[in-house]
Amino acid sequence: MSTNTNNETMQTVTRRVDAAVIGSGFAGLSAAYEAAKLGKRVLLIDKMPNPGGNSVMNAGQIAAVGSPNQEKAGIKDSVELMKQDMLDAGVSLNHPNLLEKMISQSWDTVKWTMTEFGIQYRDRLTQMGGHSVPRTLSTMNHSGRDIIDPMLSKIQYMPNVKLEMKTKFERFILEKNDENGQDEVAGIEVSHNGVTQDVICDKGVILASGGFSADIPFRKIQVPTFGEKVMSTNQPGATAEVIKESLKISALPVQLSHIQLGPWTSPDESGFGLAPFFCIGAGFPYGIIIDPDTSTRFVNELGNRYERSMAILKMCHPVVCMTDSEGAKHSLEKDLTKLEPTLKAHNSIEEVAEEYGMDPIVLRETIDKYNASVAMGEDEDFGKLLREDAAPLVKFPFYSVRLWPKVHHCMGGLHINSDAQVMHVDGYPIKGLFAAGEVTGGVHGGDRLGSCATLDCIAFGRIAGKNVATFNKKKEGDLHNVAT
């Protein structure tokens, strides 16, 4: 006999598996694969009609220390340096044990995606904002689909994994431990086409349900200014019900109000759009961001996401990111016509000024000043890290987009230990409950650096999958004694 979190008595066991995984993004697929490889029967569910969550529409970027690409380019990097970069961006709210575990496995994680699923990455590394060195690898099409599709194809042929779409996690099924009186997770209640089923999980449940950026009521409670008027880059299924049910069974939340805005999104397109592909590859590293009111720069274009988003919001109106035709060649989306009409081309500085109501004389001075910084190799005004191949903005056409931040990532979530066990408010791991990916908190602290979420989801997804497979509910509690 068991009870669900509404305290209803559950009589009928309709299904029995070793592990249930909730969510079919990077974290869920990595977890399901690892558990299945260890011979466990896995039920993988997702409430949406199509698998992949935010992961499938992600930009395919993943940070790693010690890649052969870094070695080839002579880039000196270390676990400590990446950790420091993440702590700086996260204002030291990051949980160091999670950071260390993830970063020390970063190149191995990328290698795993290559060897297990045949995923390919481009030769070139990207220098992303807030990272002190180039360490970001990109998949061939700059898309999370490059990772999700091969994972799905392989998992589909594993006889012991069943992927069920349009199947929603509703509640936990709990069991009381006779010895210590603590609630343990015995399974989950799911719904599919209006029919409810109980799934009893002999090994455990893995939460991989992503963040809640698209859940306006929930995110507005955490950050009142992120209400209806703030757009989001996320898919509509990025909602908070899994976190809410976890809170009902006394899972410990961490930093839920740390919600990230993306500084590279445009108000002229919906969702994530294509502007970020222009800005991340070209506009930010090889161009400038200008306040149209003053026709001047106002922020380090390669600062971390928080600094840039806040600086833009302070302007109270959209700003303009611009580079010349040489800089635009670095756009992650090579076919610039795909970015029209959000992306605009201009044959003179006067045309740029006219488009955005800027002062052409001041704009020319701004560009001249930036070009002088590039020539010197030092940005005295904003401390931007100028790449060796950065060049003055001189070649027309110039290209520009308007920018206004959108809600992008939830740094906060459920507290896990470094074995991906979900922690109870009283400081012990909830038996039979694991979590990985954006549903968890602590890795990114106050703000996430670009390309670190893919790594987080896959690294901890793998840990959760391996640990659920080897977990013995009867014997084991804390797989790892460090509870932070």
Binding site for ligand FAD (CB under 6 A): 22-28, 45-48, 53-55, 57-61, 144, 168-169, 208-210, 233-234, 237-238, 241-242, 272, 409, 437-439, 451-454, 457
Angstrom distance (rounded) from CA 203 to CA 193? 27
Q: Which is nearer to ligand FAD, 207 or 385 (CB)?
A: 207
Closest approach of ligand FAD to the CB of residue 356, in Å: 26
Q: What type of residue sits at position 441? A: G
Indicate the residue whose CB is closest to ligand FAD.
Answer: 25
Angstrom distance (rounded) from CA 197 to CA 124? 48
Token pair recorded at residue 85: 């970069």
Q: Which is nearer to ligand FAD, 245 or 379 (CB)?
A: 245
Q: Which is nearer to ligand FAD, 23 or 204 (CB)?
A: 23
Contact, 196 vs 213, CB < 8 A? Answer: no
Angstrom distance (rounded) from CA 312 to CA 292? 11
Comparing CA positions, the residue from 448, 464, 462, 460 lying closest to residue 61 is 448
Active site residue 305: yes
Closest approach of ligand FAD to the CB of residue 370, in Å: 27
User: Which residue out of 41, 135, 171, 305 is catalytically annotated?
Assistant: 305
Residues listed for the chain: 484
Closest approach of ligand FAD to the CB of residue 414, in Å: 11
Closest approach of ligand FAD to the CB of residue 200, in Å: 17
Angstrom distance (rounded) from CA 21 to CA 24? 8
Token pair recorded at residue 243: 């976190």
Q: Which is nearer to ligand FAD, 99 or 453 (CB)?
A: 453
Q: Which is nearer to ligand FAD, 93 or 345 (CB)?
A: 93
Q: Which is nearer to ligand FAD, 264 or 356 (CB)?
A: 264
Contact, 449 vs 131, CB < 8 A? Answer: yes
Q: Is the dihedral of CA 70, 72, 73, 74 positive or negative?
A: positive
| β-bridge pairing 440-441 and 413-415 | parallel
Closest approach of ligand FAD to the CB of residue 209, in Å: 4
Terminal-to-terminal C-alpha distance of the chain: 33
- List Cβ<8 Å contacts ≥24 apart for 188-197: 188/20, 188/22, 189/4, 189/10, 190/20, 190/45, 191/167, 192/164, 192/166, 192/167, 192/168, 193/166, 196/170, 197/14, 197/15
Q: What type of residue sits at position 389? A: D
Closest approach of ligand FAD to the CB of residue 396, in Å: 31
Q: Phi, psi (5° rounding) for residue 66?
A: 85, 25
Token pair recorded at residue 441: 């908190």
Closest approach of ligand FAD to the CB of residue 52, in Å: 6
Q: What type of residue sits at position 6? A: N
Closest approach of ligand FAD to the CB of residue 210, in Å: 3
Q: Which is nearer to ligand FAD, 5 or 454 (CB)?
A: 454
Q: Which is nearer to ligand FAD, 40 or 462 (CB)?
A: 462
Angstrom distance (rounded) from CA 120 to CA 192? 36
Q: Which residues touch 221 (CB under 8 Å, ≥6 apart)? A: none
Contact, 34 vs 18, CB < 8 A? Answer: no
Token pair recorded at residue 115: 């060897």
Angle, helices 452-470 vs 96-104, to 10°: value is 90
Angstrom distance (rounded) from CA 402 to CA 264? 9
Angstrom distance (rounded) from CA 451 to CA 428? 31
Q: Which is nearer to ligand FAD, 23 or 405 (CB)?
A: 23
Closest approach of ligand FAD to the CB of residue 306, in Å: 15
Residues recognised as catalytic = 305
